[in-house]
Chain A
């Protein structure tokens, strides 16, 4: 098997507002392989978006990466560059953003400039990164729009973001992200703002582009249905920690962490019994300032072991083939 093109090791990104410290990402471990899709799934405040922003080095103040490494490998023999060692707005990092790693956001309306045409924004990116002339860049912009299925791209290239529907805008966003053929595409809730039929179109498009272009995708979402449809590997996050990760089939059919199990059970399913009650996870996600000690899930966990879970931070342990869980049920330091 290939080596991962991106290796995140023990990443910790903390925020230091005046009121205290928020451990937004607290020891994330991720491997990203070419032509594969890694899903990062979790509820609000779990750190999935901050993980993406850390990889791109666009974490906003008062946040910063306090430890860990993010190794980007351009080919199999490459020793790799550690992105945490680069200056966030330095030359090398700016090249990496766009050329090696691109990002698409949840809300395409706010990520495009309202006063520039879609085309001019793609042209700018292409010229900046690939040093081609104006005319050639424009041709590439039209080509990129065609690739993502925007109808009559020659005309659309001169339109503004507000003239496009939500679905077309998201396609244009994908065209912009892919215009420099990145090796890794980070999609942060790419379909959350869209209707289901449009969501299905965009997901099919991403899968198709991956088959053709061969890039790796990191798909960040709260929607377990989207994960089941799209991902090869899944990392489940809760309050800044990756609590479980493994192949998609294992996560859905043999989950080990009590949080993953509870999340899967409490999800409304299109195949559920009509007019039925759902099993729930009691309580709510704690405020990041009041992060519980030990395992962050222990106050809501049905398998809570007093004296252990509230004192020991569970390490991530192998529980199967390529399958890790951070839960004291599966071992850990003696209490």
Chain B
């Protein structure tokens, strides 16, 4: 975990993103999907914070709001810009956002569809430089050479097209493009889930090396807890639009405090046939974010639920330093984690 007094890079406060459900000829609004529903967290400079959860939990929507690919419905996203100013990304206009976009970049999930097949590596990696008017032609060329080396690709290949490269190599190109403008925050949405196991490890190692070398801050969005464990300093677990638990990585895995985190950890197949045994199975399905259950959203699937859980919505509370959980029974339950 980061030392006390670490600098905050990003501060998300009460973020909400609601999508209207429209129906009929007049497209009247008949409901609302609360994709992100009152989410608060911060990211410190140089750390990796992971957002984890199952499909529909709002992790991707949260990351898109931070990059302002989506405009939040409510809440503040305070970004500590390189200039020293603190800006609310959620409130800025498109023009005001422009200079900030250089400082926040994204690595995409699918290295096949995120690279334009008709452009060479040189064009792809140089594009952010061109778009932001950085340098002249020679300077950009030199920067692309430098970037390709940085991500472990041979600069001689820069006049080739993406189809000539494997999935792992393409993901390296995507990383080089994201780093072209020296961003301080990199949002990586499932960066290795489309890759083969043997290639996943290469990309995860590369991301960690680059972080150490360039002092990058990562917001890592993933569903694979094994991957999250390898790269994160802190982990936020999301369920139906809310953060249910946020803690340093060791704590989330060793001593989870939320029953959903416990179930999520138990569901991950252990890569050792000798560890087979009776498993804690989570019944039922993820709640519908347009019509979530009252009280704690998790209560219909929770084995520890009481009457209070059915009616009262728990709030995220710090139980031990740095370990926050949103569960009425957090102090009395002793849940099972995963030991090293």
Of B196, B226, B267, chain A has the most CB atoms within 10 Å of the CB of B196
In the complex, the chain B residue whose C-beta lies closest to that of A224 is B271
Which of the residues B223, B230, B266 comes within 8 Å of A195, measured between beta carbons?
A: B223
A-B contact pairs, 9 of them (CB 8 A): A201-B282, A225-B271, A228-B271, A228-B273, A268-B201, A270-B270, A270-B338, A278-B204, A284-B166
Q: Are A252 and B271 in contact (CB under 8 A)?
A: yes
Residues on A lying within 8 angstroms of B by beta carbon are 43-44, 165-168, 195-201, 203-204, 222-226, 228-229, 231, 248-249, 252-253, 262-264, 266-281, 284-285, 287
Interface residues of B in 80-110 (CB under 8 A from A): none
Q: Are B281 and A248 in contact (CB under 8 A)?
A: no
Which of the residues A165, A168, A228, A263 comes within 8 Å of B197, measured between beta carbons?
A: A263
Q: Are A197 and B264 in contact (CB under 8 A)?
A: yes
In the complex, the chain B residue whose C-beta lies closest to that of A274 is B249
Known: A271-B338, A275-B232. A197 touches B205 (CB 8 A): no
CA of A253 to CA of B229, assembled, Å: 23
Q: Are B264 and A224 in contact (CB under 8 A)?
A: no
Known: A200-B281, A228-B270. A273 touches B340 (CB 8 A): yes
Extra inter-chain contacts (10) besides given A267-B197, A269-B271, A280-B198, CB under 8 Å: A165-B285, A201-B281, A224-B197, A268-B226, A270-B265, A271-B338, A274-B232, A277-B208, A280-B202, A284-B199
Would you call B54 an interface residue if the criterion is a C-beta within 8 Å of the partner chain's C-beta atoms?
yes
Contacts of B199 in A (CB 8 A): 284-285
Would you call B225 an interface residue if the criterion is a C-beta within 8 Å of the partner chain's C-beta atoms?
yes
Main secondary structure of the interface of B (DSSP, over half): helix
Q: Whole-angstrom distance from the CB of A229 to the nearest CB of chain B?
A: 5
Known: A201-B281, A249-B273. A222 touches B197 (CB 8 A): yes
Count of B interface residues, CB-CB < 8 Å? 52
Contacts of A231 in B (CB 8 A): 273
CA of A165 to CA of B198, assembled, Å: 31
Contacts of A252 in B (CB 8 A): 271-274
Contacts of B339 in A (CB 8 A): 271
Q: Are B273 and A197 in contact (CB under 8 A)?
A: no
CA of A229 to CA of B54, assembled, Å: 21
CA of A253 to CA of B225, assembled, Å: 23
Q: Mark B198-222, 1 if CB is under 8 A from A, else 0.
A: 1111101100100000000000000
